[in-house]
Amino acid sequence: MKITVLGCGLVGKPMVKDLAKDLDAEFVVYDVNTSAINDLTSIKNVRLVQKDLSDLSELKESIKGSRLVLNALPGFLGYNASKAVIESGNDLVDISFFPESPDELEALAIENDVTAIIDCGVAPGMSYILAAYAHYQLEHTDKIRIYVGGLPKIRTKPFEYKAVFSPVDVIEEYTRPARYIKDGKVVVMPALSEPELMNFNNIGTLEAFNTDGLRSMIKNINCSDMIEKTLRYPGHIEKIQFLKDCGFFSENKILTSVGEVSALEFTSKVLIPLWKLNENEEDITIMQVITEGRKEGKKLRYTYNLFDEYNKNDGVHSMARTTGYTATMAVRMLLKGIFSEKGLIYPELIGKHSNCVSFLLEGLKSRGVVYHEQIETINES
């Protein structure tokens, strides 16, 4: 059995190591940077290939004969890569979190008789799975709230933020308008808007703000009050908003002495080294998923809390663990036949199946990623 992994960064590498532990398969791992794949040379069933996969004909040739493809490329490459995988007739698990609408891929996945699970990380990913699982336990869902953030454990000025995934994708979150559901209607607000302070165990006060996090939940979950907010250390919004207000995220070209460049290109070059989470830097992931609704005459609240930290024993970052191990458990779920539906599979569709949710939660727990469930009856008097 051949499994192809596209991208071998700080998330892709731990995924390969995790899958290679117990799967009887040949893993072919592609990355444009030789340095990214050197750490995997000691694993006997892993073949490493240095290649630029932005060439889609090259990509399609590379994945021939694969039982399954795991897409861990940056978001700006993710959509075209996932489309090429589906067109080639390969099953897919995707954590690229591409910004494009996946609507076109729905018919394509059915046409090619493949199972293509997209957005299969921590958020989106487990956030949607757990919110949807609770939704399907209820007779009527009144409200869904998702709060999530990946943060450095050591707060370093000025931004007190580091990214385990592509910083370019982080900037995209800060510039793309945010959508949520209020009174049954889609509301569009600027990213970073409607801030609120929240207190969490183990970490204290964080600020929450709008980003475009609901994605496919908007069309797939019937709930009239639904929102996702991003978490950062207090003061982060003000710094990012200042850059936005000054035009540092503008894509308009500026003529310089060395040619034309956009402010966004310049800003990215400055922020990427500042936001890059280095190999041994410790990080944390915090998430809270709340679903409220009614069942058998009672108002219930389902809450899932996650607090995860950098693993000093194996040197795997928390965001890589929480994102990557969700995807590797989804790979096992497909290979074991626990989930076999064909088509484009959004995470919230997995939440319909309690056996799949249990499989994912148990697998994550065995890897030290623990979601704490609390079910409460809400007193309405």
pLDDT digits (tens, 9 = 90+) for 185-219: 999 999 999 999 999 999 999 999 999 989 999 99
Interatomic CA distance for residues 109 and 112, integer angstroms: 5
Helix (H) or strand (E) holding 181: strand 178-182
Q: What mean pLDDT comes out for the span 127-153?
A: 97
Question: CB under 8 Å, gap of 24 or more: what pairs does 242-250 form?
Answer: 243/267, 244/174, 244/175, 244/192, 249/171, 249/174, 249/175
Interatomic CA distance for residues 74 and 179, integer angstroms: 22
According to the model, what pLDDT value does residue 299 have?
97
According to the model, what pLDDT value does residue 355 have?
98
DSSP, res 39: G
According to the model, what pLDDT value does residue 65 have?
93
The boundaries of every CATH 3.40.50.720 domain in the chain are 2-122+319-369
Contact (CB, 8 A) for 98 and 62: no
* Tens digit of each residue's pLDDT (9 = 90 or more) over 250-280: 999 988 888 899 999 899 889 988 998 887 8
According to the model, what pLDDT value does residue 14 have?
93
Q: What is the CATH number of domain 2-122+319-369?
A: 3.40.50.720
Interatomic CA distance for residues 33 and 49, integer angstroms: 9
Q: Is the pLDDT of residue 10 over 90?
A: no
Q: What's the angle, vertex CA 127, arms to CA 237 and CA 376, rounded to 5?
A: 105
Helix (H) or strand (E) holding 148: strand 140-152
Q: Is the pLDDT of residue 37 over 70?
A: no
In sequence order, which residues have a C-beta less than 8 Å from that of residue 82 and are 6 or more positions away?
A: 71, 92, 94, 96, 98, 102, 105, 116, 118
* Tens digit of each residue's pLDDT (9 = 90 or more) over 275-328: 988 878 999 999 999 999 999 999 999 999 999 999 999 889 999 999 999 999
Least confident of 134-138, 167-171, 210-214, 331-335: 167-171
Percent of the chain residues past pLDDT 70, beyond the cut: 98
The boundaries of every CATH 3.30.360.10 domain in the chain are 126-318
Q: Is the pLDDT of residue 35 over 90?
A: no
Contact (CB, 8 A) for 344 and 118: yes
According to the model, what pLDDT value does residue 51 have?
86
Least confident of 14-18, 36-40, 118-122: 36-40
According to the model, what pLDDT value does residue 36 have?
66
According to the model, what pLDDT value does residue 258 have?
82
Q: What is the CATH number of domain 126-318?
A: 3.30.360.10
Burial status of residue 169 (CB atoms within 10 A of its CB: 0-12, 13-18, 19 or more) = middle
Q: What mean pLDDT comes out for the span 335-342?
A: 97
What global pTM score does this model have?
Answer: 0.94
Q: What mean pLDDT comes out for the span 137-144?
A: 98
Give yes or no for a cis peptide into 124 (omega within 30° of 0): yes
Interatomic CA distance for residues 243 and 163, integer angstroms: 18
Least confident of 71-80, 255-264, 354-363: 255-264
In sequence order, which residues have a C-beta less than 8 Å from that of residue 269 and are 6 or more positions away?
A: none
According to the model, what pLDDT value does residue 342 have?
97
